[in-house]
Structure 1
Amino acid sequence: MQIYFVRHGRTQYNIEHRFQGGNSDSPLLASGIAGGKAAGRRLQAVDFAQVYSSPQKRALDTAKYIVAENQWQPTIQIEPRLREFNFGTWDGMREEDVVPQSQMALLLHHPAEYQPELAGQGESYAEFVERTTAAVHDAVALAGVDNPKPILMVSHGLVTTMTIKALLGIPVAKFRDPLVIDGQELPTIGHGIVDNDSLTIVNTTDNQQFGIETWNETDFLAH
């Protein structure tokens, strides 16, 4: 079974370095729309068993652009557990404006030590990946691990990156560390997150052990 992960297209909040978590949304920029369409062209010949999207508009719009290009025209299923990390009252704020900045540093560099109750409330990394990995496990179980058709999940930067790391068995403390597979450090953008509109493909044969086939693919965005 393959699981395809696509991060939503670029938004104004991305440019402004604002927290864009589970309680905030910013519409796709023109480049984000173009990226969603490009991802759709990249995946147009893939016959998906199921297509899931976060309920947030930036992700759902991206999913719609992808499906519009797909020759099979699959139905998009809303999966609430794919909602982005909940930053609480920090959502919508510029990174440089949140207090205390000490918790901001822990959020970005020492995830196991981040304490949301001392920041904007919201959720911890452990709580976050508990719900997102459950969504993946349930989707794989529903489709069947032997299904030759893959699953598509359109969501967010942290959902994609941290969910995959959790599925790989990486502990929370190392979620922000570079991801190294077979001695090679895999590319990311700031603080270890995959790019907007990027494609990452994960596989599993038993819904317990997971491996990476494709990581943060963006070549199709230049075409």
Structure 2
Amino acid sequence: MGKLEGQKISLVQSIYPQEMHAFRNNLAKFRAKDFHAESVYSTTQRVAQLIKTLKDSDAKNVLLVGHGANLTASIRSLLGFEPGLLRKAGGLDNASVTILETEDCEHFTLKRWNDTSYMDKENKIS
């Protein structure tokens, strides 16, 4: 996030309301370079390249853990969404589970999105 890194969201929202709206709603309009931040293209391609390196591995299940903004954009990019639609379904909640399936590390099927049901009171281990 460049110069926005570590800042409180409320502060950034008050100083840069249009940019934060773009960040949360239409990443195609977010001007990352204005904040010396990594571009949406760069961050999503970095994740896509990582996934492609797994193609010839013996890995059956892979767990990716990271920041919601990057994971939201990267997952939806892997699913073929254009930059302007990467956040159309909203972002990922903290500690949520999203599951994609692939046979070739290039084409993906969404099996579960933003699931936090494991945190329900009935499901908690006491």
TM-score, length-scaled by structure 2: 0.81
Q: Paired residue for 1:194?
A: 92
Q: CA deviation at 1:168?
A: 0.6
Matched letter for residue 48 of structure 2: T
2:21 counterpart residue number? 105
Where does structure 2 lack aligned partners over 5 or more consecutive residues? none
Q: Deviations over 1:162-203 (max 9, x none)?
A: 11101110011111112xxxxxxxxxxxxx122222221111
Q: Is 1:135 the counterpart of 2:27 in the alignment?
A: no
- CA apart distance, 1:97: 2.2
Match of 1:182 in 2: none
Is 1:96 the counterpart of 2:10? The answer is yes
1:142 Cα shift? 4.0
In 2: Cα distance, 1:195 partner to 1:107 partner: 15
Which residue number corresponds to residue 33 of structure 2?
117
Q: Which runs of 5+ in 1 are unaligned?
A: 1-86, 179-191
SS of 1:150's equivalent? coil
Determine if the alignment matches structure 1 residue 150 to structure 2 residue 61: yes
SS in 2 for 1:196: coil
Structure 1 length normalisation: TM-score?
A: 0.49
Report the Cα distance in structure 2 between the residues aligned to 1:195 and 1:151, rounded to whole angstroms.
20
Q: Could you say if the C-alpha distance between residues 143 and 166 of structure 1 is closer, same or farther in structure 2, counting changes exceeding 3 Å?
A: same
Give the match for residue 165 of structure 1: 76
Higher share in helix: 2
Higher share of residues assigned strand: 1
SS for the counterpart of 1:208 is coil
* Equivalent pair of 2:24/2:91 in contact (CA under 8 Å): no
Report the Cα distance in structure 1 between the residues aligned to 2:32 and 2:10, rounded to whole angstroms.
17
**Aligned position for 1:216:** 114
| Residue 206 of structure 1 pairs with residue 104 of structure 2 | yes
The whole-number CA distance in structure 1 between the counterparts of 2:16 and 2:95 is 31
Residue equivalent to 1:70: none
Residue in 2 aligned with 1:30? Answer: none
Distance 1:221 1:193 in 2: 18
Q: Percent identity?
A: 26
Structure 2 CA distance, aligned partners of 1:116 and 1:167? 20
Provide the C-alpha distance between the structure 2 equivalents of 1:194 and 1:211, rounded to a whole number of angstroms.
17
